[in-house]
Chains A and B, each alone.
Chain A
Amino acid sequence: MSTQPDLLYSEEEDALRAAVRDLLTDHCDPAGVITRMETDAPHDLALWKSLAEGMGLAGLLVPEERGGQGASHREAAVVLEELGRAVAPVPYLTSAVVATEALLACTGDAAAELLTALASGRRIGALAVALNVAPGGAYKVVLHEGGLLHGELTAIADATAADVLLVPADDGGLYAVEADAVTVTPQVSLDLTRPVATVVFDGASARLLGDAEPAVRRALRAGAGLLASEQLGLADRSLTETVRYLKDRKQFNRPVGGFQAVKHRLAQLWLEVVGLRAAARSAADALATGSADSGVAVAVAQSYAAPVAVRAAEEALQLHGGIGMTWEHPAHLCLKRAKADSIAYGTPGSHRAALAELIDLRTP
């Protein structure tokens, strides 16, 4: 095994977290998210502008000479922890991580130009692969005929916010397609804060970016690895909010958080969140350093993160009692995001299957 990963947060990462949290506290309150998600514009593009253009966070993974910030997955992971905590409806994971990683895998002027545009935050990109596909998993492609694309793709996350789609085609190429050249139809999504959509290609003109296979694999692996940090933010928020509420909420003339049956559940959840933090940092660090161990680190983090985030959100709902079941209370924001996240970029089971090969614990 290689050297130990750095599992801590640096001072700069702590400062970055504080800045993102300040912005989200002021501009992404739960009531606003709940109101917005039922409108025709579920994404908060003003918030995206502040994050991407104002703070320069869309270009963290892009080298400075290509128009980005030249930071790494470690910093992007910290941003995602905070965005997860707020269940922020912005296309950060899909554009600044997944689409950006796909472009980083491509050479050539078309990819370079688009990469710079995404890094600046002025344009939003989306990889046209269904959100549930795991790294290394099979994905649907469109037909490439005479320079035009034909076909239909479903479950494309944040497609309604995207200016440009990165589309794998049957000839093995990855193509850039302008959003106004296709028909994007929102699907009624479980998680309205990261909605999925159908994209119909009816002779859409396209620019070749590079080979689809390596680009998609790299993009999905980074997406899966950094999703663990978003799940950490979600789980930590669910736990913190529930503890806060139960110190205050009284039944039987005492705080509900004083009952041992409840205390033990929360303590157990805390243990799992602590474990998730170590696993998520391990994945982010492995991606940042390009470690040979990154396949294992990502598979471990994603196998562990999804059930913890879902359980944290489910426990939060149960332990809030009736109020947690209302549309008005934000507990369902975490629950829906956590459940959708448990499918995104591969289920825990698919990551365990990948792990079985990587660590040589093979199927019977």
Chain B
Amino acid sequence: MTVDATELIRRTRELLAAKPPADTDRLDFLRARFDAGLAWVHYPEGLGGLGAPRALQPVVDAELAAAGAPDNDPRRIGIGLGMAAPTILAFGTEEQKRRFLRPLWVGEEVWCQLFSEPGAGSDLAALGTRAVREGDDWAVNGQKVWTSSAHVARWAILIARTDPDVPKHKGITYFVCDMTDPGVEVRPLRQITGEAEFNEVFLTGVRIPDAHRLGEIGDGWRVAQTTLNNERVAIGGMRIPREGGMIGPVAKAWRERPELRTHDLHQRLLRLWVEAEVARLTGERTRQQLVAGQPGPEGAGLKLSFARLNQEISGLEVELLGEEGLLYEDWTMRRPELVDFVGRDAGYRYLRSKGNSIEGGTSEVLLNIVAERVLGLPSEPRTDKDVAWKDLAR
């Protein structure tokens, strides 16, 4: 049976009647929602879904929001929802799916991602963290970096090298790592803003049971592609109002504080305002294409444009502020739960947006991707494809 919108509304109301949000504990409600298949309706029955079209999820969300039901605070558990869950669904055993997906979705168990390493950034497949088979377990040694939520995470998705004697893409295996293992050490990684959004994770003799392997031995790179492709799915749904991005606070400062204005800044501000508006329209056009069922390659460029604009606009804002631009809100080392530009000062936005052209694919790599996959230009010459990982230059 395919579940349509009417049926989803019926089931949602049934849930609300059985578990009135006002009289129900938050976690109890979320568990009941998961068990009713209303967590993510496109997932299979028994795993929080009903096998319904993904596009129908907003029907359920709107009904629940109108009834004042609690949500699972998706921003706090983004890595679990956006990356771990789709990978477990695609490659996990039945037992793994039943064990992990429910506490992941309700937010009882936070997930993090152990992918990047100091020696493997853009070239992720060159990673050197080793996993060696010992009986029914794997022993893992190595270092991971840029791990958000590692200090609060119960589980991690991990890729590690299981065979150094084959080319780098072929010797990787994908695991679920227990972050409470005594061999896991999490250290905050302080960044240029003064804060530590991310961590370094040191893995020393960490034991992972073979039952926590996702996919086949040596097939980890292919499994990781599922994770990374899902990282990029999230864009496209959002409608941004004019001046909705970083240009907003600069425009506001310009309007409210005429004493800061100069002719040079005016010319640069107007150029950036136009570029921000064009980027907004490009995002809106991409969204309209998705809604109309005609997805185009345009989305590939949005991150590139927004990274550059965020950096240029926040840079202009610091300069516009003059004397105030010499100051910074607070250099105290903190561990923020969420990254948010809203409500932060211009200096923070300037420094944090430097990461926008590095995280989630550097702008240089993304330009290669556009050139090769959109324009069809020849790919970069490769000298690493047929070389055993252990023989690569490092």
Q: Does A77 contact B (CB under 8 A)?
A: no
B292 surroundings in chain A (CB, below 8 A): 8
A258 close to B (CB within 8 Å): yes
* A contact residues around B380 at 8 Å (CB): 258, 260
Is there a chain A Cβ closer than 8 Å to B98's Cβ?
Answer: no
Which residues of B272-313 have CB atoms within 8 Å of chain A's CB atoms?
273-275, 277-279, 281-282, 284-285, 288-289, 292, 294, 298, 301, 304-305
Please give, as numbers and ranges, the residues of chain A lying within 8 Å of B294 by CB-CB distance: 8
How many angstroms between the C-alpha atoms of A1 and B301 in the bound complex? 26
Q: B305, A271: Cβ atoms under 8 Å?
A: yes
Contact: A352 with B270, CB < 8 Å? yes
B106 to chain A, nearest CB (A): 35
Return A359 CB to nearest CB of chain B, in Å: 7
CA distance A257 to B374 in the complex (A): 13
Q: Is B285's CB under 8 angstroms from A278's CB?
A: yes
Q: Does A94 contact B (CB under 8 A)?
A: no
- In contact, B278 and A267 (Cβ under 8 angstroms): no
Number of B residues contacting the other chain (C-beta, 8 Å)?
Answer: 47
Q: Which residues of B contact A276 (CB under 8 A)?
A: 278
Contact segment of B21-29, B189-197, B364-372: B364-372
Contact B371 A264, beta carbon cutoff 8 Å: yes
Q: Is there an interface contact between B376 and A8, defined as CB atoms closer than 8 Å?
A: no
User: B271 in the interface, Cβ–Cβ < 8 Å?
Assistant: yes
Q: Which residues from A are CB-within-8-Å of B374? A: 267, 270
Given the complex, which residues of A lie within 8 Å of B368, measured CB to CB? 260, 263-264, 267
The stretch of B67-75, B152-160, B215-223, B256-264 in contact with A is: B256-264
Q: Which residue of A lies closest to B277 (CB)?
A: A300
User: Quick one: closest A residue to B274, CB to CB?
Assistant: A303
- What sequence of 0s and 1s flags, for each residue 359-392 of chain B, a beta carbon within 8 Å of any chain A beta carbon? 0000010011011101111111100000000000
| Chain A window 1-20, contacts with chain B (Cβ cutoff 8 Å), 1 for yes, 0 for no | 10011111000000000000
The answer to whether A364 has its CB under 8 Å from any CB of chain B is yes
Chain A residues near B54 (CB-CB < 8 A): none
A19 to B94 Cα, complex, angstroms: 55
Q: Within the assembled complex, what's the spacing in Å between the Cα atoms of A356 and B254?
A: 11
CB within 8 Å of A: which B307-346 residues: none
CB neighbours (8 Å) of A282 from chain B are 281
Report yes or no: B270 in contact with A243, Cβ–Cβ below 8 A: no
Q: Tell me if A360 and B371 are in contact (CB < 8 A).
A: no
When the two chains form their complex, are residues A361 and B266 in contact, meaning their CB atoms are under 8 A apart? yes
Residues of the B chain whose Cβ atoms lie less than 8 Å from the Cβ of A277: 282, 285
Q: Given the complex, which residues of A lie within 8 Å of B267, measured CB to CB?
A: 352
Kindly state the separation between the CA atoms of A364 and B263 in the bound complex, as whole angstroms: 6
Set of chain B residues within 8 Å of A270, measured between Cβ atoms: 301, 370, 374-375
In contact, B284 and A247 (Cβ under 8 angstroms)? no
Q: Are A274 and B375 in contact (CB under 8 A)?
A: no
**Contacting pair B282 A266 (CB below 8 A):** no
**Cβ of B135 under 8 Å from chain A:** no
Q: Are B278 and A352 interface neighbours, CB within 8 A?
A: no
CB distance from B224 to the nearest CB of A (A): 25
Q: Could you tell me if A257 and B377 are in contact, using CB atoms closer than 8 angstroms? A: yes
B281, A263: Cβ atoms under 8 Å?
no
Complex Cα distance A281/B310, Å? 24
B266 touches A356 (CB 8 A): yes
Q: Taking the nearest CB of chain B, how far is it from the CB of A270, in angstroms?
A: 6
Interface of B is mostly: helix
Inter-subunit contact B367/A7 (CB<8 Å): no
Tell me which residues across on chain B come within 8 A of A1, comparing CB atoms.
241-242
Q: A254-B378, A267-B370, A271-B370 are in contact. Are A360 and B274 (CB under 8 A)?
A: no
Q: Contacts A247-B378, A352-B270 hold; do A8 and B242 have CB atoms under 8 A apart?
A: no
- Docked-complex contact A274 and B288, CB < 8 angstroms: no
A268 at the interface (CB under 8 A from B): yes
**What are the residues of chain B within 8 A of A247 when measuring CB–CB?**
376-378
| Shortest Cβ distance from residue A306 to the other chain B in the assembled complex, whole angstroms | 11
| Among candidates B270, B278, B284, B367, residue contacting A264 with C-beta atoms closer than 8 Å | B367
A246 interface hit (Cβ, 8 Å): yes
Q: Give A324-364 as 1s and 0s: 1 = Cβ < 8 Å from B's Cβ atoms.
A: 00000000000000000000000000001001100111111
Other-chain residue from A264, A268, A275, A360 in contact with B255 (beta carbon distance below 8 A) = A360
Picked from A260, A278, A356, A361, the residue with its CB within 8 Å of the CB of B281 is A278
Cβ-defined contact, A275 with B282, below 8 A: yes
B270:A361 contact, CB within 8 angstroms: yes
B133 within 8 A of A: no
Q: Tell me the bound Cα distance from A360 to B368 in angstroms.
A: 39
Q: Which residues of B contact A304 (CB under 8 A)?
A: 274-275, 278
Nearest CB to that of B270 among chain A residues? A352
Q: Does B10 count as interface, using CB distance less than 8 angstroms? A: no
User: Is B235 an interface residue, CB under 8 A from the partner?
Assistant: no
Knowing A254-B378, A268-B367 touch, does A8 contact B288 (C-beta < 8 A)? yes
Taking a contact as CB atoms under 8 Å apart, the answer to whether A278 and B282 are in contact is yes
Asked whether, in the complex, the Cβ of A263 is within 8 Å of the Cβ of B269, the reply is: no
Q: Could you tell me the distance in whole angstroms from the C-beta of A245 to the nearest C-beta in chain B?
A: 11
Given A243-B375, A267-B367, A275-B270 contact (CB < 8 Å): no
User: Contact at B377–A355, with CB atoms within 8 Å?
Assistant: no
Question: Which single member of A246, A268, A274, A356 contacts B270 (CB below 8 Å)?
Answer: A356
Contacts of A260 in B (CB 8 A): 368, 380
B369 CB to closest chain A CB (Å) equals 8
A266 CA to B376 CA in the complex, in Å?
A: 11
Cβ of A290 within 8 Å of any chain B Cβ, yes or no, is: no
Residues of chain A within 8 A (CB-CB) of B381 are 258
- Asked if A147 lies at the interface with its beta carbon under 8 angstroms from chain B, I say no
Contacts of A274 in B (CB 8 A): 282, 298, 301
- A355's nearest neighbour on chain B, judged by CB, is B270
Contact with B along A233-271 (1 / 0, CB 8 A): 000000000010011000000110110101110111011
B301's contact among A4, A254, A262, A271, by CB below 8 Å, is which? Answer: A271
A255 contacts which chain B residues (CB < 8 A)? 377-378
Chain A nearest CB from B241 CB (Å) reads 6
In the assembled complex, the Cα of A303 lies from the Cα of B379 at a distance in Å of: 34
Query: Can you list 19 pairs linking A and B with CB atoms under 8 Å apart?
Result: A1-B242, A4-B288, A243-B375, A254-B378, A258-B379, A260-B368, A263-B372, A266-B377, A270-B301, A270-B370, A271-B305, A275-B278, A278-B281, A300-B281, A352-B271, A360-B255, A361-B273, A363-B266, A364-B258
**A-B pairs with the 4 shortest C-beta distances?**
A258-B378, A263-B371, A364-B261, A278-B281
Known: A277-B285, A300-B278, A352-B271. 12 other contacts (CB 8 A): A4-B284, A247-B376, A263-B368, A266-B371, A267-B371, A271-B304, A304-B274, A352-B270, A355-B270, A360-B255, A362-B261, A364-B266
